[in-house]
Chains A and B, each alone.
Chain A
């Protein structure tokens, strides 16, 4: 090796100029990466940092010195940065090249944005507007390519496909299942599954997020809403212990879809199909509010619960039952309420585990917060046996059941029978619970899409869950109910927000939660002491967010638009109140 070569190798960064601005690039980066890390957008379709370079969309054409013949455009995605390279991305000749590429991409693309679900978050639409030409001299017939369902979650609309092969590479390189391929040649090429195969790998929904145009669409939410109407909330999937970062996209107080949010420490840019559909549980059978089996208002139920707690003796035994779906805050409040009483925890049964080719793992543990329970209670294996024996012995004055598992935890029938021996019983349950019959008070618990709080994923990363559904009607948050109980018992002076509860929790158990705060966890999460995952929040986001580059450009997050006017029915307009 020559001296010059070893000198280049020793250098940690490479200095290049992009449009006259000096940019420090990492060795091995391509021009596109270097530009985007420096906050300069180069339009592209086929390139994705999680996939190999294909270089077939030609949208990222730039002029660069030291990259092949002079005065010849090169694709930024497949040009390595070289010391002293000068790149131009905005000059007239680059613009002409981009316009030419856009024109070719749009030759066979139908002008059906009004009926295409991608419209509003479509890179082709956005880049055509930003970099394209207004007109096209193309007068010939556009090709017709098929529309079909590639798998249970993905619909393919051939006419819209620009054959960037992101989906093909995703199935090859991330999912490892290789169902997809480009079939036919030239203008008649499109994406299809191999004969006899279906696009049904556990990550198939990610191909929809990767698709820069509307060729692959989510069958689950197809034709239900428009991207610009969606209100997006940064949250964490409650489907398993992996804790994928997600956007919860809602409209009219209904979750319309979950899409992955980038977190290099957890899920990179992906999420599994099972998690993607887990939002449905938020709208499935829910528990109502009841007093002594009779339907009641939340206020009356709270009043009754306060009275029960207020009448308890100071030394009375309070037993609690919790689940692995409860947030850390709820678990802490349950611990607080039980004082030294018996505690039982239930979990959703383990499911299949799966690991993709790039290391993405679907956890076998289908509880989002088993690790959190371990950190709050010191052990996650608190079987309800203790509670059951105390109940059978008739020692329990108050049993608090907090069942946040959608569909309900699998409580043993003996435990449910024994629960009748408790003097009082308060149930907070997401779904109708076996403990509800004979309970003094029943509260309808929240789904994780409705909650504010935090989960600790299987690798010990504390991540924020945010309430995406704001108007939960007659429900009141679990954290609030539990705190009302604690106040009535004289254990706490007042009701705090979830953040306040977490502060108390972190102060009470510094060995488990360290100096973590909501602020520090932010959108990226923070590793807790002793965690397997040690990626700092600052390093969890790369320069490349998940989803189309144009996602969120046209979102109507305006309170007025989403909240007060676009209602589910005419009865919600407000003008009809007290009418007829």
Chain B
């Protein structure tokens, strides 16, 4: 395949193409042929997935059925809660320091509980900036932040892609976008 911008040879003879026939000049056979292909598609199984209403196509399985996301996939973050339902995060800011995309923003505050000194007042992740590298969960000394297989949730605005603490705490990996049952 030649590059599309390769210029035609300067010395190409003008009448290089064979002259068009009358039917070719009318374009009608080609149009009918094209419409035929389109009509055939109406009766074949649908390839398009109505994401995000239904889950993604499983490319790895080369299967038209809707597959599940690999459990090791690094998707959206969650903030893990402890047994008492509080965030495990102690706002040490190590994930913020480790983040190569600088997408984490935390403001610590003294914790109201006796068993720990600090907690995050603000915990925001800009999912648009995030490159899903997982360094934050690697840096975390408390296992408080994890990346789940949950896929990118589409939004209609950019501000919605900045997740705050409440959203990260409630970001349930089980609540994956609905999966269409496998055939």
Contacts and interface: CB of A to CB of B under 8 A. Distances in A.
Contact of B92 (A114, A567, A580): A114
B93 A223 contact: no
A566 interface: yes
A567 B106 CA distance: 10
A344 to B, nearest CB: 44
Interface string A545-578: 0000000000000000100011101110101100
B162 A573 contact: yes
Interface string B156-173: 011100101000000000
Contacts of B118: 115, 223
Interface stretch (B33-41, B68-76, B124-132): B124-132
Contacts of B117: 115, 223
A153 to B, nearest CB: 15
Contacts of B54: none
Contacts of A119: 92
Contacts of A575: 126, 128-129, 158
Interface stretch (B22-30, B78-86, B108-116, B146-154): B108-116
Given A222-B110, A575-B129, A567 B94 contact: no
Contacts of A114: 90, 92, 94, 141-142
B180 interface: no
Contact of B93 (A226, A565, A571, A579): A226
Interface string A351-365: 000000000000000
Nearest to B156: A580
B97 interface: yes
Given A570-B124, A580-B157, A115 B129 contact: no
B105 interface: yes
Contacts of A115: 90, 92, 116-118
A225 interface: yes
B102 interface: yes
A568 to B, nearest CB: 8
B145 interface: no
A238 B19 CA distance: 91
Contacts of B124: 569-570
A228 B128 CA distance: 25
A229 B126 contact: no
A565 B110 CA distance: 24
Contacts of A573: 126, 129, 162
Instruction: Specify which of B90, B108, B164 lies most central, judged by the most chain A CB atoms within 10 Å of its CB.
Output: B108
Interface in A396-425: none
B105 A567 contact: yes
Contact of B97 (A223, A224, A228, A579): A228
Interface string A525-537: 0000000000000
Given A114-B92, A567-B105, A570-B126, A579 B159 contact: yes
Interface residues of B, number: 28
Interface string A216-238: 00000011111011000000000
Interface string A117-147: 0010000000000000000000000000000
B109 A223 contact: yes
Interface string B51-66: 0000000000000000
Contacts of B96: 229, 566
A222 B91 CA distance: 12
Contacts of A571: 159
A573 B90 CA distance: 24
B114 to A, nearest CB: 10
Nearest to A223: B118
Contacts of B157: 579-580
Nearest to B140: A114
A119 B90 CA distance: 14
A474 to B, nearest CB: 24
A223 B108 contact: yes
A549 B170 CA distance: 43
Contacts of A222: 110
Nearest to A225: B108
A114 B95 CA distance: 11
Instruction: Specify which of A119, A228, A575 lies most central, judged by the most chain B CB atoms within 10 Å of its CB.
Output: A575
A571 B164 CA distance: 12
Contact of B158 (A566, A569, A576): A576
Nearest to B99: A565
Nearest to B162: A570
A570 B124 CA distance: 7
Contacts of B97: 226, 228
Instruction: Specify which of B90, B105, B141 lies most central, judged by the most chain A CB atoms within 10 Å of its CB.
Output: B105
Q: Shortest 10 CB-CB distances between A and B: which pairs?
A: A114-B92, A570-B162, A565-B102, A223-B118, A580-B157, A114-B141, A579-B158, A226-B93, A223-B108, A223-B110
Interface of A: 114-115, 119, 222-226, 228-229, 561, 565-567, 569-571, 573, 575-576, 579-580
Interface of B: 90-94, 96-97, 102, 105, 107-110, 116-118, 122, 124, 126, 128-129, 141-142, 157-159, 162, 164
Given A223-B109, A224-B109, A576-B162, 5 more contacts: A115-B117, A115-B118, A569-B122, A570-B126, A575-B128
30 contacts: A114-B90, A114-B92, A114-B94, A114-B141, A114-B142, A115-B90, A115-B92, A115-B116, A115-B117, A223-B91, A223-B109, A223-B118, A224-B108, A224-B109, A226-B97, A229-B96, A565-B102, A566-B102, A566-B105, A569-B122, A570-B124, A570-B159, A570-B162, A573-B126, A573-B162, A575-B128, A575-B129, A579-B158, A579-B159, A580-B159
